[in-house]
A and B are shown apart, each in its own frame.
Chain A
Amino acid sequence: MVIPRIGVDAEIVAVATDDDGALEVPPLEHPEVAGWYRPGPAPGQAGNAVLVGHVDSTRGPAVFFDLGRLRPGDTVRVVRADGRTVAFTVDGVGAYPKARFPTERVYGGGAAARLRLITCGGRFDPRTGSYPDNIVVFATAAG
């Protein structure tokens, strides 16, 4: 996937959920990789395709470190396994406490091909070892 505005050019691996039912993320050993939520639509298919990536690892910034800088009108391109490239236009960016994650807006269906990009946000809490928020980018297939 390529996000020109923030300099992202990343490989994508498939993810699903962990044992607790939470969305899996790519292994921290490969913070430069984004994950595609395989149980959902593929990018370009009808519905919401979901990609997740780390904001950082223990070594520094990760693939979606600058996700919060995206703005409406920015472009996200995803190259599918079949070689087809799907371009998406950013509709908006939001920050949500994980306890109030917008499940319907992220995973909800519909006829349009949409894309959701997810990473962590907020101030890292070293006691819990996690961030309190998720940053979500909402985008729709262009053209």
Chain B
Amino acid sequence: MKAQSILGSAAVGVGLGALLLPAAALADTRVSPATTPVGGTVVLTSTCNPKAGDAIFRVTGPDRDQNVRSTTAAAGGGLSAELFTAGFTLGTYTVATTCGDGSDGGSATFTVTPIGGAQAGAGGRDGDTGVLVAGGALAAGAVAGGAYVLVRRRRRAGVTA
């Protein structure tokens, strides 16, 4: 019971200093945001005890295995570092932290995604206002198909008339 109590206190960072080596195993790692467009910056944070020294965040993923050293004391306690994702391959990355005392600092994941939305349209045939009208209706989540069909039918009627 006593050991559990010590571990629990250490887990919330009550500041028992170097006596808490076993407790560091309960440290936690977070990544914010958990999803970023490629080129964005994520903040890696661990609850490692800063007094034990810098934490090392090991970032592994689709084509990457790099260590990032903590640079600042996190506002809420622990240590953090910023990671710039320019040049990262798209996919999910794992951040595994080693605290300054060599203990396990926990792990977390983040995902690198494409930038923005998709360019998924060409505006229809030149002068075909039916598609343009339909595109606007789509944005409103309305009856785009109906609008298009209506205009197309009118065009056909005009052609055949």
Contact = CB atoms under 8 A, between A and B. Distances in A.
B160 interface: no
B20 to A, nearest CB: 32
Interface in A79-124: 93-96, 98-99, 101, 103-104, 106-109, 118-124
Interface in B91-125: 91-92, 109, 111, 113-125
Greatest chain B CB density within 10 A among A31, A37, A56, A109 is at A56
Nearest to A67: B138
Contacts, number: 174
Given A21-B39, A95-B140, A104-B34, A119 B120 contact: yes
B55 interface: no
Interface residues of B, number: 44
B48 interface: no
Given A22-B119, A119-B118, A135 B141 contact: yes
B34 A109 contact: yes
Interface in A18-55: 20-23, 25, 28, 31, 37, 39-40, 52-55
A64 B33 contact: no
Nearest to A53: B120
Contacts of B74: none
A83 B140 CA distance: 36
A56 B124 CA distance: 6
B33 A121 contact: no
Contact of A120 (B121, B132, B143): B121
Given A58-B126, A103-B113, A124-B123, 15 more contacts: A23-B116, A25-B119, A58-B124, A62-B120, A65-B145, A68-B142, A68-B144, A93-B141, A103-B116, A120-B119, A122-B135, A124-B121, A126-B123, A130-B121, A133-B139
Interface of B: 33-39, 62, 89-92, 109, 111, 113-126, 128, 131-132, 134-145, 148
